[in-house]
Amino acid sequence: MEHVAAFTVELNSLKETQLPVSRKKMASITRAALKALKFYKHIVQCVEKFIIRCPPELKIPGLYVIDAIVRQSQSCYHEKDVYGPRFMRNLVNIFLSLIQCEEKDKPMIMRVLYLWQRSSVFPSQVIQSLQNVVNDPSNISVVKQANMIVTAAMSQDFEIKKCSNELNSCPADLTQDTAFMASELGAEKGPLISQPKPATTAETQLIQLQIMQQRIAEQSALLNQAKMIDPEVRSQLRTLMAQLNQRREEAVAQLAEGKTEEELR
């Protein structure tokens, strides 16, 4: 927790820092946040409390802290970034607090949202909903809709990561099930009196890939029906499907090669 304490000191030092905040100071805060990655939930909570409790002149520097931490974390850890999803959970309330900044600073809120949209820092639907909140913060329905969109985006992000994790590492029980299925399929093709052959690596992999493709297709269809799928996420799904197709073709080719060798014997 010493890294959390160090980050808190860095963050609170903004109160004694001459505005505007220098790049060097912002970089120092960002480094402290990444050093405390193991305690990212505490770091996010520290930043949120700072923004909510700080005076109006420090609201925008607080927003810049979120921007710097999330961008740097995404740059270093890509899809394994934890700061982006964690900050996204409470973005609506944070932006309701940010609009209490000084009047001259309010255009900077929309500028940050524009830069986030251009760089896909957060899903476009989330950013659009935040823009609506900034433009009409007293509209309860707008705020409620924004919270619903954030919740849906977080659920979508979870499903995509779940599919990616399943693609990279298949559970042991699934491996056993698919091995059994493969051996049963092999038994159906042979004489009734023969014993089922053990499933080959290629057969097991082929069935695993088919199951994974079906899961991704189902999740993609559900997200499309809800009209909550981001173009970037759709592109990631297509990439995953292409990788699955390639691996499936390799498995099929390996199976065909194995059968040819058996026939030659």
What pLDDT digit, counting tens, does each position of 238-250 carry? Answer: 777 777 777 777 7
CATH architecture for the domain at 2-151 = Alpha Horseshoe (1.25)
Better pLDDT: 189 or 258: 258
What is the distance, to the nearest Å, from the Cα of residue 13 to the centroid of all Cα atoms in its chain?
31
Using CA atoms, how far apart are residues 175 and 172, in angstroms rounded to an integer? 5
- pLDDT tens digits, 20-46: 999 999 999 999 999 999 999 999 999
Residue 107 has pLDDT above 80, yes or no: yes
DSSP assigned state of 78? G
What is the distance, to the nearest Å, from the Cα of residue 214 to the centroid of all Cα atoms in its chain?
21
**C-alpha distances in angstroms, 58 versus 62, 65, 93, 135?**
6, 11, 16, 20
Q: What is residue 148's predicted lDDT score, i.e. its pLDDT? A: 93
Using CA atoms, how far apart are residues 132 and 242, in angstroms rounded to an integer? 36
- pLDDT tens digits, 50-101: 999 999 999 999 999 999 999 999 999 988 999 999 999 999 999 999 999 9
